[in-house]
Amino acid sequence: MATLPTVHILFENPAWNPPLLDALEAEGFPYELHYLVDGVLDPSTEPPEGIWINRVSPSSHTRDHGHTVTMAREILFWLELHGRRVINGLRAFEFEMSKLRQDLILRKYGILTPRTVLAVGTKNLVEQAQTFDGPFITKHNQGGKGLGIHLFYNADQLEAFLASGEFDAGPDGKVILQQYIQPPEPYITRVELVGDRFLFAMRSRTDEGFQLCPSDACQVPASNPDVCPIDGEDSDSVGVSTKFSQSPITADDELVIKMLRMIAAEGIEVAGIEFVQGADGLRYTYDINGTTNYSGVLGKQTGIDGMREVVRYIKHHVVPQLAGLRAA
C-alpha cells in the first residue's frame, strides 16, 4: 500500500486535538500540528505538501488568541492559492465566522431558520429589536460557545441592557438579533455530517444554558482557560452521557437531505448543524459548526466515533481524489 500523505492540522485550541490525533494514528496517517495564535507568512514560500484540515474556531479570541482568525484567513488563502487540499477551507471558514452568512445559505437551500437580522450600532440594534413580535436573542455574528447570547422579551429590555454598558458586541461589533424559539422539550438537535454522509444526530439538553459544545474537553469547569467554560460534567459516575443523547433522526430525514445538499454545494466537508424544534412543531436551523467536536461519552454509547469517521473520509475520499489529480 502506498504511504499516506501527511495531514496538517491548523488549530488554536489544543484541548480539541486528542480525538483527531488518535483517529489519525489509528488510520495510519502521519500528521503535523500547526498552532495558530500569531505568526509570520512570507508569500514567497510554498506550503508543505499534504492534506490540510482547518480546526480554527470562531471563539479563539476568548482564549486570548485575538489574532488567530485574521491570520487563519491569510493562511487559508495562501494554502488554496498553491492548490493545497484543505478540508473546510476558506469558503467554509467564512461561513463559520458569520452567523449572517450561515442564515443566508440555510435559506438558499430551503431550510427554515428563525427570523435573523444583523445590526451594527446601538441605534440600529434597538430599532431592529422593535421589529420582533415576541422574544428574541442577541448573538455575536462571530459566535461559538454561546457568545453574546442574551434573551430579551422586548426592545426596551435590550435598550436598558445596552445602556448599562454590560453589553459586549463581540470581536467586530456585528450583532445578530434572532427570533427566540422556545423548545417545548428542553433540547436542541445537532446533525453531524461528513462529506456526503450523515453520521448521527445528537440531542443536547438546553436547561443549563446556551453553551453546548459537545467536546469532552469542554465538559469541565471554567477554571481551565483553554477549554469551553461549560459548567457541569457530561457524564455521571458510570460514564453515561447526561447532557447529550442520540436523536432518532435518520439519514433519510428531509432536513438532513437538504443539509447535505447545502454543504456539498457550499464547500463545507465537516459540519455539525443545529436546529431547535418549536412549539409549532417546526424545526428551525440556526448554527453551522465547521470545527465540530464530538462527545466521546455519546460516541461510546452509539458506537460512532465522529473523528474516526472524519479521518476515514480523508482516507477513502480525499486521498484517492488527490492521487487522481496527480495522475491526470
Ligand X SMILES: Nc1ncnc2c1ncn2[C@@H]1O[C@H](COP(=O)(O)OP(=O)(O)O)[C@@H](O)[C@H]1O
Does 145 engage in binding with ligand X (CB under 6 A)? yes
Residue 212 Cβ vs Mg ion, minimum distance, rounded to whole Å: 6
Nearest CB to ligand X, comparing residues 34 and 150? 150
Question: b/e per residue, 52-71, with b = 16+ CB within 10 A?
Answer: bbbbbbbbbbbbebeebbeb
Residue in 304, 290, 312 with CA at minimum distance from that of residue 244: 304
Which span (15-23, 26-34, 82-90, 140-148) binds ligand X, by CB under 6 A? 140-148
Residue 187 Cβ vs ligand X, minimum distance, rounded to whole Å: 8
Range 22-41, binding Mg ion (CB under 5 A): none
Range 248-307, binding Mg ion (CB under 5 A): 287
Tell me phi and psi for residue 187, to 5 degrees: -150, 160
Does 290 engage in binding with ligand X (CB under 6 A)? no
Does 178 engage in binding with ligand X (CB under 6 A)? yes
What secondary structure does DSSP assign to 170-233, as a single string?
-TTS-EEEEE----SSSEEEEEEEETTEEEEEEEEE-TT-S-----GGGSS-TT-TTS----S-
Q: Are 50 and 213 in contact (CB under 8 A)?
A: no
Nearest CB to Mg ion, comparing residues 54 and 204? 204
Nearest CB to Mg ion, comparing residues 47 and 143? 143
Nearest CB to ligand X, comparing residues 206 and 245? 206
Does 105 engage in binding with ligand X (CB under 6 A)? no
Residue in 281, 285, 284, 282 with CA at minimum distance from that of residue 271: 285
Query: How many Cβ atoms sit within 10 Å of the Cβ of residue 44?
Result: 4
Interaction mask 110-139, ligand X, x per CB under 6 A = ----x----------------------x-x
Range 260-279, binding ligand X (CB under 6 A): 274, 276
Separation in Å, CA 159 to CA 151, 156, 167, 212: 13, 5, 10, 27
Binding footprint of ligand X on the chain (CB under 6 A): 114, 137, 139, 143-147, 149, 178-181, 188, 206, 210, 212, 274, 276, 286-287
